[in-house]
Amino acid sequence: MNDRVDKKRKDREKEISRRDFLKYTGTVVLVVGSGCYVAADKGSPKLIKVKEGGAGLPASEGYILVDIKKCQGCTSCMLACSLVHEGVESHSLSRIQVIQNSFESFPDDVTIEQCRQCVDPACFKVCPEDALKTNAKYGNVRMVDRDKCTGCGECVEACPYTPSRPIVVSDEDYKGDMKSRKCDLCANTPYHWDQAGGGPNGKQACVEVCPVGAIKFTKEIPAQEGDDGYKVNLRDRNWRRLGYPIS
């Protein structure tokens, strides 16, 4: 009996929690800055029912998938995102969000929320200035035309997910006027490190920088209802040795 108890105790000691992982690899503290407009909690995500072709838009040729059980909450993806787009490391300017809840335990203590490049995007339908567009040059990624955007926040409110995937922030290039931002798969990244740039045929900063491979790019359209198409399992058998489920 004592041998069995000792074995269980040793097995537990082998497991590495997210907090242990960060303690050994360097902790990053998430600080939410000011000057950023995001929608308030809108409750559970609504399901978007789409027909082939959605709202008459060509489907995006790229999508970001995440493994929230593999994510360590380091926010490297957020810092890399703002760096390639804005030239500064800022959580407030990131188009991908890592949300940490210290009151929860694994696997509900950390999650990643990314733009879904929706087949039938709600944000497109409400923009009064037609500032949201697809760009054939970049594989029909959903993008914001900041010249047209007035920073009204309608796209933020229309997004059925929490937190909203578009954000509205002050834009220095427009004399501090509020402008919308959203993930463009790094298509429009003035500070991209690779000469070829981003977009569906390039490199996405969040994918490249994630130290544990919790973010993946795909060209296949994920299931549009619920979360299963976008929140996936990217863990292999090596993660079992660290105490993580791999199924």
Rounded Cα distance between 40 and 122, Å, is 17
* Predicted TM-score of the model (pTM): 0.78
For the stretch 73-97, what's the b/e string if a residue is b when 16 or more beta carbons lie within 10 angstroms of its beta carbon? bbbbbbbbbbbbbbeeebbbbbbbb
Cβ burial of 116 (10 Å; 0-12, 13-18, 19+) is: buried
Mean pLDDT, all residues of the chain:
84
Sequence-ordered list of residues with C-beta below 8 angstroms from that of 46, at least 6 positions apart, any chain: 160
Residue 46 has pLDDT above 80, yes or no: no
Cβ burial of 66 (10 Å; 0-12, 13-18, 19+) is: buried
Any idea what DSSP says for residue 54?
T
Mean pLDDT of all residues in 105-118? 95
Quickly state the pLDDT bin for 9 (edges 50, 70, 90): very low
Quickly state the pLDDT bin for 246 (edges 50, 70, 90): confident
160-211 pLDDT, tens digit each: 999 999 999 999 999 999 999 999 999 999 999 998 899 999 999 999 999 9
25-42 pLDDT, tens digit each: 443 333 333 344 444 444
Rounded Cα distance between 93 and 42, Å, is 21
Any idea what DSSP says for residue 80?
H
